[in-house]
Amino acid sequence: MGRASTARRIAVAAAFGGTGVGAVWASVYGLVNVEAKMARKRIGPADKPLPCDGTYGEQLAGAPLSMVMLGDSSAAGLGVLRAADAPAARIAAGLAHAARRPVRLTCVARVGATSAALEDQVTSALPARPHVAVVMVGSNDVTHKVAPAVSVRMLEQAVRRLREAGCEVVVGTCPDLGTLEPLAQPLRWLARRASRELAAAQTIGVVEAGGRTVSLGDLLGPEFEADPAAMFSEDGFHPSSEGYARAADVLLPSVLAALGFAVPDVAGAVPSRGEGVRAVADAAVAAADRAGSEVTATQVAGRDRGPAGRWALLQRRRAEPAPSLQEAAEAPKGG
């Protein structure tokens, strides 16, 4: 069975209440109990993430934009030494800089959360009347025996609730767990395959629900391998401030696009081969293989769907790195 078919099967199972558990996932579940426990012993107890809620660019004119951050420890920024380095803070600062408006950030992400926790997180986030929600979730679903279709279903339901409230949604899909140093073989190989399958299925569910996704994939893999001391936090498992900065940098352009703000291109950037309109399952698999790829719904000849399902646009937005809080503070005032 092809990977697009596998992702589609998981997404369909999510829509109709199935589990969509395949042989690869069953193998991961069988090994996680041993290998993940060993990894946790090496990692040690996790600290609480630093709170990053607040208003960014508050010296700027105009009504504040409301941004909410949902998901797991990666969304909460576990491992950073300064709240300003959390991915939510960097995205909020970048959004304020680009929009020339203050951004009020509410982070409801929680350490250890799986996609099942999104229901309560959305309930907590909605009173903030968010204009945009950023979600980073999936790693714990792979390592906590959550059936992939159940994981996708909970994510899709969360996206639908946010969209019904008039909120734009950008989801950073499950990262490639095969890049994590504490994991040993064969769990590392299995985790890589399972996490990419989940990322592709997440993309299908999110796009169907009206959101857009950005693949985190092996975004940090090469850097982790070359300089793990710089890219890992002190626990040896979660990203460092530099690692989170990379994730924020690839998510920010999609946040800007979702809200209708211009995305500045890096000088000299040109479209990459393979980008463009595809059936959503094909776009989802391609995105899972290439970190930083965005997938969003589109139309062909005025139609949402073709012979292979919903049409989707696969692209890599090329923007400058998210500005620091100091740069955001220095952004010119405007309406």
Q: Please state the separation of Cα 173 from the chain's center in Å.
A: 4
Q: What is the pLDDT of residue 334?
A: 42
Q: What is the pLDDT of residue 237?
A: 54
The phi and psi torsions of 255 (rounded to 5 degrees) equal: -65, -45
Instruction: Give Cα separations from 152 to 11, 42, 72, 244, 311 (angstroms).
Output: 7, 30, 15, 24, 19
Q: Which of 72, 233, 238, 241 is catalytic?
A: 238
Structure tokens at 247: 């994730």
* Per-residue model confidence as pLDDT tens digits over 93-126: 999 999 999 999 999 999 889 999 999 999 999 9
79-88, 174-183, 306-315, 322-331: least confidently modelled range? 322-331
For the chain, how are helix, strand and coil distributed in percent, rounded to 5? 45, 15, 40
- Active-site residue 73, yes or no? yes
Strand (E) or helix (H) holding 212:
strand 212-214
Residue with tokens 């790693």: 139
Q: What is the pLDDT of residue 229?
A: 54
Round to whole Å and give the CA distance between 97 and 34.
46
DSSP states of 4-41: HHHHHHHHHHHHTT-----HHHHHHHHHHHHHHHHHHH
Residue 232 has pLDDT above 70, yes or no: no
* Confidence category of residue 308, pLDDT binned at 50, 70, 90: confident
Q: Own/partner pairs for 302-309, CB < 8 Å, 24+ apart?
A: 306/279, 307/279, 308/279, 308/281, 308/282, 309/8, 309/279, 309/280, 309/281
31-45, 114-128, 249-263: least confidently modelled range? 31-45
Q: What is the pLDDT of residue 206?
A: 97
Q: What is the pLDDT of residue 269?
A: 47
Q: What is the pLDDT of residue 291?
A: 86
Q: What is the pLDDT of residue 240?
A: 67
Hey, what domains does the chain have and what are their CATH numbers? 3-329 (3.40.50.1110)
* Confidence category of residue 329, pLDDT binned at 50, 70, 90: very low
DSSP, collapsed to helix, strand or coil, labels residue 303 as: strand
Q: Which of 73, 151, 195, 233 is catalytic?
A: 73
- Active-site residue 235, yes or no? yes
- Active-site residue 238, yes or no? yes
Mean pLDDT confidence for 310-326: 74
Residue 257 has pLDDT above 70, yes or no: yes
Residue 326 has pLDDT above 60, yes or no: no
Q: Which of 53, 120, 144, 235 is catalytic?
A: 235
The phi and psi torsions of 234 (rounded to 5 degrees) equal: -65, -25
39-53, 153-167, 285-299: least confidently modelled range? 39-53
* Confidence category of residue 303, pLDDT binned at 50, 70, 90: very high
Nearest to 196 by CA among 223, 215, 181, 182: 215
Residue 133 CB: number of other CB atoms within 10 A? Answer: 32
Q: What is the pLDDT of residue 44?
A: 47
Q: What is the pLDDT of residue 43?
A: 46
* Confidence category of residue 139, pLDDT binned at 50, 70, 90: confident
Q: What is the pLDDT of residue 45?
A: 47
* Per-residue model confidence as pLDDT tens digits over 44-90: 445 678 899 999 998 999 999 999 999 998 899 988 888 999 999 99
Q: Which pTM was predicted?
A: 0.85
Q: What is the pLDDT of residue 102?
A: 97
Q: What is the pLDDT of residue 317?
A: 83
6-10, 161-165, 253-257, 298-302: least confidently modelled range? 6-10
The phi and psi torsions of 7 (rounded to 5 degrees) equal: -65, -40
Mean pLDDT confidence for 228-249: 67
